[in-house]
Amino acid sequence: MRAITVTPDQRLELGEVPDPAPGHGEVVVDVAAAGVNRADLLQRAGHYPPPPGASDVIGLEISGTVRSVGEGVTGWQVGDRVCALLAGGGYAERTVVPAGQLLPAPSRLDLVDAAALPEALCTAWSNLVDVGRLSAGETVLVHGGSGGVGSVAIQLGRALGARVLTTARGTERAARCEELGADVAIDYRGDVPAAVAEATDGRGVDVVLDVLGAGGLADNTTMLATGGRLVVIGTQRGRRAELDLLSLMAKRASVHGTTLRSRPLEEKARIVAAVREHVWPMLEDGRVRAVVHQRLPLADAQRAHELLDSGEVFGKLLLVTG
């Protein structure tokens, strides 16, 4: 089959790789589209190797049609329209998926656009709800509301009944975050802690969903309310920083870090099942929607990475196989 491979000078090109076969508990999907994630750029550059056993083809999520079903799989049949969370293998014509990581393609959505959902929604759900324990009436700050994860985290936070503050670069991107349901969108080139203090009457936020890491740690802990939870999912501004433990103790606040890709299959299956139970109804009734910036042909994966790197993408890029 055709799939995207990485050249020795770290460029993406279309090549031939062996066809995948489903193992026990797995299905093979004919890929309609693959979502492009920031982590894919790191993998291309050699900084984010696939976990043991995962395909070395880049790509953390797809949509498509079930082509074959392995032994021990129940509940899925050849021809089912699906989307799926992957540890790798998405930038290809076909991919193998553990059955626990499959979701039915939402009926309201074009099959291609369904590829924008699994990674972002599983990340947003597991970090806002499981880790962040966000509940109705609380306030959440979503960093990077203009991003693939952030654009659905805004909608999810709102659908959960929280007040949603978010950050993005510039007033135009911030305004688009408000169109998605953010109550307050802040241009991160300004004074974010001051804007958050003003928006919360000095109280701070209950949960921060952070994509910045080290460079944002001091501000993020400052912006937490008493009992607040900082959930770090990205290190776009570094991985090592000092933490003022006394200020954390005084607020009875906590700092968490998670990754989705490296989790054991059972944990991913549990997250996918929770997303199917709780978030899929929100997609069906329109409270949450996919935010797709652009579709590109699979062969243009390199251009998609350059586009994502340019900072001009709002939401998700999709690579389409057809």
Selected range binding ligand NAP among 78-86, 132-140, 168-176, 241-249, rule: CB under 6 A: 168-176
Contact between 258 and ligand NAP by CB under 6 A: the answer reads: yes
Burial class (CB in 10 A: 0-12, 13-18, 19+), 230: buried
Q: What's the closest the beta carbon of residue 183 comes to ligand NAP, in angstroms?
A: 17
CA distance from start to end of the chain: 13
Contact between 233 and ligand NAP by CB under 6 A: the answer reads: yes
Identified binder of ligand NAP from the candidate list 5, 55, 63, 123, rule CB under 6 A = 123
Q: What's the closest the beta carbon of residue 243 comes to ligand NAP, in angstroms?
A: 19
Only one residue has tokens 């293998």, namely: 89
Selected range binding ligand NAP among 20-28, 106-114, 140-148, 246-254, rule: CB under 6 A: 140-148
Of the two residues 161 and 311, which places its CB atom closer to ligand NAP in the complex? 311
In angstroms, rounded to a whole number, what is the distance separating the alpha carbons of residues 40 and 54? 14
Identified binder of ligand NAP from the candidate list 38, 67, 163, 289, rule CB under 6 A = 38
In angstroms, rounded to a whole number, what is the distance separating the alpha carbons of residues 316 and 84? 16
Selected range binding ligand NAP among 5-13, 86-94, 228-236, 243-251, rule: CB under 6 A: 228-236
Contact between 148 and ligand NAP by CB under 6 A: the answer reads: yes
In angstroms, rounded to a whole number, what is the distance separating the alpha carbons of residues 290 and 84? 14
Contact between 211 and ligand NAP by CB under 6 A: the answer reads: yes
| AA letter at 223 | M
Contact between 94 and ligand NAP by CB under 6 A: the answer reads: no
In angstroms, rounded to a whole number, what is the distance separating the alpha carbons of residues 229 and 206? 6
Contact between 64 and ligand NAP by CB under 6 A: the answer reads: no
In angstroms, rounded to a whole number, what is the distance separating the alpha carbons of residues 198 and 166? 14
Question: Are the beta carbons of 95 and 115 closer than 8 angstroms?
Answer: no
Strands 2-6 and 12-16: antiparallel
By CB under 6 A, the count of residues binding ligand NAP is 27
Of the two residues 30 and 40, which places its CB atom closer to ligand NAP in the complex? 40
Question: Are the beta carbons of 78 and 281 closer than 8 angstroms?
Answer: no
Selected range binding ligand NAP among 110-118, 163-171, 196-204, 294-302, rule: CB under 6 A: 163-171
Of the two residues 37 and 55, which places its CB atom closer to ligand NAP in the complex? 37
Question: Are the beta carbons of 51 and 87 closer than 8 angstroms?
Answer: yes
In this chain, which residue has its C-beta nearest to ligand NAP? 147
Residue 2 pairs in a beta bridge with: 16
68: Cβ contacts below 8 Å, ≥ 6 apart: 21, 22, 27, 28, 78
Contact between 236 and ligand NAP by CB under 6 A: the answer reads: yes
Question: Are the beta carbons of 116 and 148 closer than 8 angstroms?
Answer: yes
Of the two residues 95 and 167, which places its CB atom closer to ligand NAP in the complex? 167
H-only helix segments in the chain: 38-44, 118-125, 148-159, 171-179, 192-199, 217-223, 245-251, 265-278, 280-284, 301-309
Stretch 302-321 residues interacting with ligand NAP (CB under 6 A): 308, 311
Binding map of ligand NAP across residues 260-299, x = CB under 6 A, - = no contact: x---------------------------------------
Q: What's the closest the beta carbon of residue 309 comes to ligand NAP, in angstroms?
A: 9
Contact between 176 and ligand NAP by CB under 6 A: the answer reads: no
Which residue ranges make up the site for ligand NAP (CB under 6 A)?
37-39, 119, 123, 143-144, 146-150, 167-169, 173, 188, 211-212, 233-234, 236, 258-260, 308, 311
